[in-house]
């Protein structure tokens, strides 16, 4: 099946708002110094929705993503996750053990640099199998079979299952990182510049793959990118950040085709001029 975003019309019709939010973010602040970090961020993310966080370098995108994914304690604010296993969880008030379970089952994190998300000294199959074992899978044959299925899903030859990621190209490493994340059927994926640092043709292939998987699996995604073309292709909704503040939010097509805030206008026009 060829994937793709749902149309703005569906989004505007409130297709997702009928469901309970998967993630509710309220007044999150995390500042390292004045203007360095992120402040007063609030939004709801619905099941199957892809939210893009865009803005120039240093605007606070990665800081925000880390606070949303329970990797960086905010100075203030609340992140509530609607867990299949635990019900509503306040991420910074719940047990560390519960957060760890989420990280390896219901959530996935795709890092910009694949080596931050992979174990480079074990095989591709073991990278995928490790996450399965973390959720209780013990049968070697079944783990290997699922690893092969996921290698195929991310377009890696199953003959490479015993190779280490260090023997893979950058694009393959990134696809392996995605397979490792998706094997446990997570609900929510956090991505930080997943196509950054890759050649343009490799980026295009990865984006196409991501778009199809996100659509087929009905994943909710929060993706940080400075690349508006990536945002346009993947995200239903955008949040534009500048100096730690959200300056504009809205449907992707609306924000990019009819930006309201002067900073977004500048961001969009600078891309058009290039
Ligand atoms: N651990 C840290 N200690 C101090 N300052 C930090 C830390 N991490 C980030 N910052 C600062 O906070 C600001 C926001 O950084 P952040 O990485 O969130 O921005 P970004 O929008 O993701 O940028 P980029 O696209 O370059 O990754 C920057 O000024 C950065 O230098």
Q: Which residue owns the Cα nearest ligand 1 atom 16?
A: 60
pLDDT value for 143: 95
Q: Ligand 1, from 29, 38, 63: best to mutate by most atoms within 8 Å of Cβ?
A: 63
Ligand 1 center from residue 197 Cα (angstroms): 18
Helix/strand/coil (H/E/C) assignment for every residue in 153-182: HCCCCHHHCCCCHHHCCHHHHHHHHHHHHH
Task: Using the atom order of ligand 1, give the atom closest to the CA of residue 224.
Answer: 22
Atom number in ligand 1 closest to CA 60? 18
Digit-coded pLDDT (tens) for 2-61: 345 554 444 444 456 667 999 999 999 999 998 899 999 999 999 999 999 999 899 999
**pLDDT reported for residue 9:** 47
Q: Say how many residues make up the chain.
A: 274
Task: Kindly indicate the confidence band of residue 270, based on its pLDDT and cuts at 50, 70 and 90.
Answer: confident
Report which of residues 274 and 71 the model is more confident about. Answer: 71
First-to-last C-alpha distance (Å) of the chain: 33
Strands 36-45 and 87-90: unpaired
| Residue nearest ligand 1's atom 14 by CA | 60
In this predicted structure, what is the pLDDT of residue 135?
Answer: 86
- Gap between the Cα atoms of 20 and 54, Å rounded: 25
Residue of 41, 57, 60, 228 to test ligand 1 pocket, by largest number of atoms within 8 Å of CB: 60
Going by alpha carbons, the residue nearest to atom 5 of ligand 1 is 32
- The complex's ipTM works out to 0.97
Query: Whose alpha carbon is nearest atom 8 of ligand 1?
Result: 63
Our answer on whether the CB atom of 39 is closer than 6 Å to any ligand 1 atom is no
How many angstroms separate the alpha carbon of residue 80 from the centre of ligand 1?
24
Q: Is the CB of 55 under 6 A from ligand 1?
A: yes
What residues contact residue 198 under an 8 Å CB cut-off, 6+ apart?
170, 171, 174, 206
Q: Ligand 1 atom 17: the closest Cα is on which residue?
A: 62
Q: What are phi and psi of 225, to 5 degrees?
A: -155, 150
Residue 226 Cβ inside 6 Å of ligand 1? The answer reads yes
At 137 the pLDDT is: 87
* Nearest atom, ligand 1, residue 65 CA: 18
Q: What proportion of the chain, given as a percentage, has pLDDT over 70?
A: 92
pLDDT tens-place string over residues 170-194: 999 999 999 999 999 999 999 999 9
Question: What is the side-by-side order of every strand in the sheet holding 36-45?
Answer: 36-45, 23-33, 76-83, 87-90
* pLDDT number for residue 273: 60
CA angle 111/112/116 to nearest 5° reads 50
Q: Does the beta carbon of 37 sit less than 6 angstroms from any atom of ligand 1?
A: yes
**pLDDT score of 35:** 85
Instruction: Give residue 5's pLDDT.
Output: 54
pLDDT at 105 over 60: yes
Q: Which of 206, 128, 136 is nearest to 162 (CA)?
A: 128
Q: Compute, in angstroms, the gap from residue 8 CA to the centroid of ligand 1.
A: 32
SS (H, E, C) the chain: CCCCCCCHHHHHCCCCCCCCCCEEEEEEEEEEECCEEEEEEEEEECCCCEEEEEECCCCCHHHHHHHHCCCCCCCEEEEEEEECCCEEEECCCCCHHHHHHHHHCCEEEECCCHHHHCCCCCCHHHHHHHHHHHCCCCCHHHHHHHHHHHHHHCCCCHHHCCCCHHHCCHHHHHHHHHHHHHCCCCCEEEEECCCCCCCHHHHHHHHHHHHHHHHHHCCEEEEECCCHHHHHHHCCEEEEEECCEEEEEEEHHHHHHCCCCHHHHHHHHHHHHC
pLDDT digits (tens, 9 = 90+) for 216-264: 999 999 999 999 999 999 999 999 999 999 999 999 999 999 999 999 9
The reported pLDDT for the residue numbered 271 is 75
Out of 19-33, 119-133, 191-205, pick the least confident: 191-205
Number of Cβ atoms within 10 Å of the Cβ of 11: 20
Atom of ligand 1 nearest to the CA of 62: 22
Indicate the average pLDDT of the chain. 90
- Asked if pLDDT for residue 104 goes beyond 70, the answer is yes
Does the beta carbon of 32 sit less than 6 angstroms from any atom of ligand 1? yes
Q: Is the CB of 140 under 6 A from ligand 1?
A: no
Q: Is the pLDDT of residue 65 over 70?
A: yes
Instruction: State residue 173's pLDDT score.
Output: 95
């Amino acid at each position: 099946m060829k994937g793709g975003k749902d149309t703005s019309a569906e989004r505007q019709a409130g297709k997702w708002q009928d469901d309970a939010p998967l993630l509710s973010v309220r007044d999150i602040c995390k500042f390292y110094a004045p203007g360095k970090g992120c402040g007063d961020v609030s939004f709801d993310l619905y099941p199957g929705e892809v939210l893009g966080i865009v803005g120039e370098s240093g605007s606070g995108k990665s800081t925000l993503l880390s606070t949303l994914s329970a990797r960086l304690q905010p100075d203030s604010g609340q992140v509530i996750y609607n867990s299949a296993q635990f019900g509503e969880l306040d991420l910074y008030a719940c047990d560390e053990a519960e957060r760890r379970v989420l990280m390896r089952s219901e959530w996935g994190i795709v890092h910009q640099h694949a080596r931050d998300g992979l174990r480079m000294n074990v095989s591709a199959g073991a990278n995928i199998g490790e996450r399965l074992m973390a959720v209780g899978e013990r049968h070697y044959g079944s783990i290997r079979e699922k690893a092969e299925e996921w290698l195929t899903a991310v377009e890696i030859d199953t003959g490479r299952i015993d190779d280490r990621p260090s023997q893979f190209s950058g694009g393959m490493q990134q696809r392996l990182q995605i397979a490792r994340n998706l094997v446990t059927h997570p609900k929510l994926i956090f991505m930080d510049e997943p196509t950054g640092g890759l050649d343009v043709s490799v980026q295009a292939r990865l984006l196409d793959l991501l778009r199809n998987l996100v659509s087929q699996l009905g994943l909710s995604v929060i993706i940080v990118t400075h690349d508006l073309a990536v945002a346009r292709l993947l995200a239903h909704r955008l949040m534009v950040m500048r100096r730690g503040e959200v300056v504009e939010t809205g449907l992707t097509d609306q924000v990019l085709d009819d930006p309201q805030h002067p900073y977004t206008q500048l961001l969009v026009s600078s891309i058009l001029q290039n």
